[in-house]
Amino acid sequence: MNNLNNFHNIFEPALIQEINQFGIFQYFKEGDLIMDYGKYIRMMPIILSGSVKVYRLDENGNEILLYYLSNNESCSMAYSCCIEAKKSEVKAIAEDDVELIAIPHVNWMNGCANIQAGKITSCVVLMSVL
């Protein structure tokens, strides 16, 4: 699909251009592991199509479902790990066939820094905007 048209109502044109330039389109089949516990997250994923289940381990090591992601959404836990350069505390599995765009952390933060101050909220609270 490679369609970023939905982003025009959310992001500044300059940020969309950064996403187009540096984003990596990735495809996953139903059941594929997208993100795993303990791995460094160096990309900010945005779901373009399909749905993803996001899990976390509780204090007893039991896996619990946190939420589902679908079109134009991203994982707030991944975002947190990405900007803080820490290991993932979540696991993400494709619920069905998924297309996403993965934006390298450096490019995402540069794109956010280069947009108008009033729009930087779009980058910081991406999850609630999308």
Integer distance in angstroms from the first to the last C-alpha of the chain?
19
Output the pLDDT for position 93.
Answer: 96
Q: Torsion over CA of 3, 22, 52 and 125, rounded to 10 degrees?
A: -100
pTM value?
0.74
Domains of the chain, each with CATH number or no CATH: 5-129 (2.60.120.10)
Q: Judging by DSSP bridges, how do beta strands 90-94 and 33-35 pair with one another?
A: antiparallel
Output the pLDDT for position 105.
Answer: 67
Report the alpha-carbon distance of residue 127 to residue 60 in Å, rounded: 28
Report the alpha-carbon distance of residue 49 to residue 71 in Å, rounded: 5
pLDDT in tens for each of the 130 residues of the chain? 456 766 777 777 777 777 788 888 999 999 999 999 999 888 888 899 999 999 999 999 999 999 999 988 887 777 776 777 778 889 999 999 999 988 886 555 554 545 444 343 344 334 333 3
Report the alpha-carbon distance of residue 115 to residue 87 in Å, rounded: 28
Structure tokens given for 129: 């905007």
Output the pLDDT for position 3.
Answer: 62
